[in-house]
Amino acid sequence: MSSKKNNVHKHTQNNAGATKNIPATLNKKLILRLALIIGIFSFLIYANTLHHGYVLDDESVIKANVQTQGGVSSLKAIFTSDYRAGFPNANSNLYRPLSKAMFAIEWQLSPNNPTLNHFINILVYAILCSLLFVILLRLTKLNVYVVFITALLFAAHPIHTEVVANIKSRDEILSMLFILLSIQALLNYVRDKNNRSFIGYLFCFLMALLSKESAMVYIGLVPLLLYFFTGTEAKNNIRLTLSAAAIGVFFLFLHYKIIGSIGLSNIPVIDNSLLVTKSFFEQKATAILILGKYLLLLIFPHPLSSDYSFDTIPLVTSFANAGFLLALLVHVGLLIYAFLKLKEKQIFSFCIFFYLISMSIASNIFMLIGTHMAERLLFLPSLAFCLAAVYGLCKLLKIDASDPNLKWSVFLNHAKPLIGIAAVVLVFYSAKTVIRNKDWAANSTLFAKDLETVPNSAHMLMYSADYLSNTDTLKLFSPEEQQVRLLKAQKYINKALSIYNLFPDAHYLSGRIWYQFKNYQEALKSYSAAMALNPGLESYHNNVGTCLFALGRYEEAAKEFAKAAELNPNDADPPFNTGSAYGSMGEAYRSKGDMENANKMFLIAIDNFKKAIRLNPNYKSAYQFLGTTYNSIGDTANGQIYLEKASQIPAKK
């Protein structure tokens, strides 16, 4: 162990020179080799996700999103619309075109191929981890091997599995990658005053924002980085920070022009359980408790879950809540320490400020967001934890981490305890990451595992019920096995509704399950409950209509189908269903010998079938029903034309 004492003033001077290039005495080939090792290591621990499928939100952003499937031709639409535009009934108020544009290009290159998407995720993550090593070395001026261990720890940390293993979370990876590139350009500008570097600094920040809105925290990180690691004057620091703020304002303007709003409105309680109460204390106290849970997951990342929604974390209703008090004391203590060491520009102080600033938007302290807890939100903040952990071990073990040029042989001789502890942690973290990756292989594996972890999550219960009762999946099983799956799905959805009865999606799914049991009366009750909670969704009205149709209540069904068509005039199903309802009413009149009213109904049915065909020229059933309806009014010539067209359209597989 080194006998050198920590010299705060010396460390401060070293930081002031951080805008210079990596010292010439440092072996550049060594830096490249270590960066390459980090990249390869990062790639290998996620290599077992390469043959995974689409999971969770991959469905709405990629697999079932017509914009994404439009490939290159959709790029303009992607950059001028909502993040989930192109998916039925989606309205996320999010603007993240960069990752979605990448998905569209990847779909163009290899349609419906999650392997390519996973490969890109892992590759970009590996590049990010390598770049992180180089930038940390440049910023902190710490020993190259200390920074190497820090980057490895970041790469291996299991808290990142949701980000890398879930394709949709490309937005997190891209956002952090562009923040790192912006830091690199910022340091270049402070060193050289080169205008190209200044433009690069702002451009990369804009790219980070176009990847994910939470990159806005970078505005708070810029003055922190400049103060701790450069000798730039306060005036220049303010100017550069204001420049980043100007980009942030421009992005918000762009967001508003395209989306029509800023921030999320009408956040469901099921997504953010803090909204279950209007008590300011209960909301903020629970948010502080969750911050404590985040810290615990950074230290000991087990168990992990893709979902922490209602009701996995009970509200804090009293000051006497031990978890809340401990989390509050820890965070207040960290903040006080960070301020006390601010003038000394201590690494720990930097890490604390970095962590708190990067967590600020996700914390639900200053504003409520679309979730109260998610592992992906720790992606950028975990950098501060990894740096503080390794630097803290150096201080604890009295290892001098301040010499960037220390050779491996000398470092090894002095730092054996650090290397030993780091090796154990890396083995544990890597093993946990590889094992957790397997859970993300498919919805079936993820839901089965996470339902064990969060058995009282209404969302996870609904996800599991949805997977079990999915029509396409059920076809793969025998009738007996289908019944078993449906009964299990019904059990899950009943539990979800017992946890939170104001959950429209759960009522909707309950309706679907009852419909598959052919219990149309119960299905109607469930669909109606969903529609009452969220009357603005086309699918809810369409399915209420389907139940009414099955019960022979054709006139009521036609009204619901018409409402669905009004809510989504671009969907061919509602007009087709409306035509079917009027056709059935026509048959009912004909059976009574009332041909005058029968023909009126048939003509309305014909108009709706034609509308469905205009919206979807390959709608085989619409041609069939149109031909049959023409025959019903005695127009066999048109009947034959449309039946012939129907025969020429291949049936859906």
CA distances from 486 to 155, 224, 494 (A): 41, 55, 12
Structure tokens at 90: 């989606």
CATH classification of 443-648 is 3.40.640.10, yes or no? no
CA distances from 104 to 62, 70, 107, 472, 559 (A): 8, 7, 5, 25, 37
Average pLDDT, the chain: 93
Nearest to 244 by CA among 273, 276, 283, 215: 215
What are phi and psi for residue 155, nearest 5 degrees? -60, -40
Instruction: For residue 405, name the pLDDT band (cuts at 50, 70, 90).
Output: low
HSE, CB side, 13 Å, CA atoms: give it for residue 19. 19
Nearest to 208 by CA among 247, 243, 240, 241: 247
HSE, CB side, 13 Å, CA atoms: give it for residue 519. 12
As a 3-state breakdown, the chain gives helix, strand, coil percent values, each rounded to 5, of 70, 0, 30
| C-alpha span between 3 and 398 (Å, rounded) | 7
Helix (H, G, I), strand (E, B) or coil at 485: helix
Express each pLDDT in 110-123 by its tens digit.
999 999 999 999 99
Pair 464, 473: CB distance under 8 Å: no
Mean pLDDT of the 62-67 span:
94
Note the pTM of the prediction, 2 decimals. Answer: 0.90
What are phi and psi for residue 558, nearest 5 degrees? -60, -40
Reply yes or no: is the peptide bond before residue 271 cis, omega within 30 of 0. no
Instruction: For residue 26, name the pLDDT band (cuts at 50, 70, 90).
Output: low
Q: How far is CA 437 from the centre of its chain?
A: 16
Nearest to 38 by CA among 150, 120, 141: 150
Interior angle at CA 283, CA 278 and CA 288, nearest 5: 175
| C-alpha span between 438 and 422 (Å, rounded) | 24
Mean pLDDT of the 542-555 span:
96
CA distances from 170 to 97, 117, 123, 625 (A): 11, 9, 11, 44
CA distances from 127 to 30, 97, 381, 496, 506 (A): 17, 21, 18, 41, 40
Instruction: Provide the residue ranges of all domains of the chain, joining segments of one domain with +.
Output: 52-112, 264-380, 443-648
Q: What sign results for the dihedral spanned by CA atoms 261, 263, 266, 271?
A: positive
- The percent of residues above 70 in pLDDT, for the chain, comes to 95
Residue 15 has what pLDDT?
40
Dihedral of the CA atoms 580, 583, 585, 587 (nearest 10)?
A: -130
Pair 96, 110: CB distance under 8 Å: no
DSSP strands (E only) in 418-576: none
Pair 210, 83: CB distance under 8 Å: no
Instruction: For residue 610, name the pLDDT band (cuts at 50, 70, 90).
Output: very high
| C-alpha span between 489 and 467 (Å, rounded) | 8
Pair 1, 214: CB distance under 8 Å: no
Nearest to 81 by CA among 208, 70, 63, 216: 70
Pair 565, 574: CB distance under 8 Å: yes
Nearest to 290 by CA among 369, 231, 218: 369
**In this structure, which long-range contacts are made by residues 102-105, counting pairs with CB atoms below 8 Å and at least 24 apart in sequence?**
102/170, 102/174, 103/61, 103/62, 103/68, 103/167, 103/170, 104/67, 104/68, 104/69, 104/70, 104/71, 104/72, 104/74, 104/75, 104/78, 105/71, 105/72, 105/75
Express each pLDDT in 304-327 by its tens digit.
999 999 989 999 999 999 999 999
Q: Is the predicted pLDDT of residue 128 greater than 70, yes or no? A: yes
Residue 544 has what pLDDT?
95
Residue 433 has what pLDDT?
98
Q: Is the predicted pLDDT of residue 154 greater than 70, yes or no? A: yes
Residue 68 has what pLDDT?
96
Q: Is the predicted pLDDT of residue 11 greater than 90, yes or no? A: no
Residue 383 has what pLDDT?
98
Residue 7 has what pLDDT?
39
Pair 541, 504: CB distance under 8 Å: no
Q: Where are the alpha helices (DSSP H) in 315-381?
A: 322-340, 347-359
Instruction: For residue 473, name the pLDDT band (cuts at 50, 70, 90).
Output: confident
Residue with tokens 């951080």: 18
Structure tokens at 467: 């997977």
| C-alpha span between 544 and 550 (Å, rounded) | 10
Stated length of the chain: 653
Mean pLDDT of the 397-425 span:
86
Q: Is the predicted pLDDT of residue 188 greater than 80, yes or no? A: yes
Nearest to 62 by CA among 126, 115, 128, 125: 115
